[in-house]
Amino acid sequence: MKPEDREKLEALFDAGAAKVASTEEHWIHNGDEGLSYCRECCEKEVAKLLKADPSGEYCVDGGWGIEGDTTPYCETCGKLLDNTLTEYGCEAEVDHFLRNGFDPASPGQCRSMSEVIMARGWEPMEGRTYRDDFEKKSDLDYFAALDKLCAGILKLMEAGDEKTI
């Protein structure tokens, strides 16, 4: 993929991401740390837990970007939360769009791709040492899939341009 094509795609993804409101991810320290909340809902949950168990050492944790296999949403209010996608998370997103299609007009989908690019970039990390052949193959397969998806998105963008002109 040409650098100017990457720039075009990044501009599309980032513009979509800018339209989608998200907030920092929090969780309950000493609570069920697998559950994610926005700050407000997390504070409420902590207060609830402390009321039921005053000696419990619950507190609001998080507020910084941690890695996750999927994009988190607040357990209580459903607000979109920030994280960094893991390698697996990126693979799952690219795979999803290859299977189900991608809509360049959807800010949510553009945000997902912006997260994917932010997490793993456009090509394999230079000089990366792989644990084994399997890891190497899945890394290369991932970037081949990303290229395929992005070539398809570029085509859609170009078709869209013609319609608006």
Site residues (vs Zn ion, CB under 5 A):
38, 41, 74, 76-77, 79
Give the sign of the dihedral formed by CA 75, CA 76, CA 78, CA 79.
Answer: negative
CB of 58 to Zn ion, least distance (A): 17
Residue with Cβ nearer Zn ion (36 or 109): 36
Cβ of residue 86: shortest distance to Zn ion, in angstroms?
23
- Which residue, 41 or 50, is less far from Zn ion as judged by CB? 41
Asked if 143 and 121 touch (Cβ cutoff 8 Å), the reply is: no
85: left (phi over 0), alpha (psi -120 to 50) or beta: beta
- In whole angstroms, the minimum distance from the beta carbon of 53 to Zn ion comes to 22
C-beta separation of 86 from 69 below 8 A: yes
Cα angle for residues 2, 126, 102 (degrees, 5° grid): 45
Residue closer to Zn ion by CB (options 24, 87) is 24
| Rounded-to-integer distance, Cα 165 and Cα 162, Å | 5
CB-wise, 23 or 84, nearer to Zn ion? 23
The nearest distance, CB 42 to Zn ion, in angstroms, is 7
Query: Whose Cβ is closer to Zn ion: residue 49's or residue 153's?
Result: 49
Classify residue 85 as exposed, middle or buried by CB count within 10 Å of its CB (0-12, 13-18, 19+).
buried
- Least Å distance, CB 38 to Zn ion, is 3
User: Hey, which residues does 37 pair with through a beta bridge?
Assistant: 26
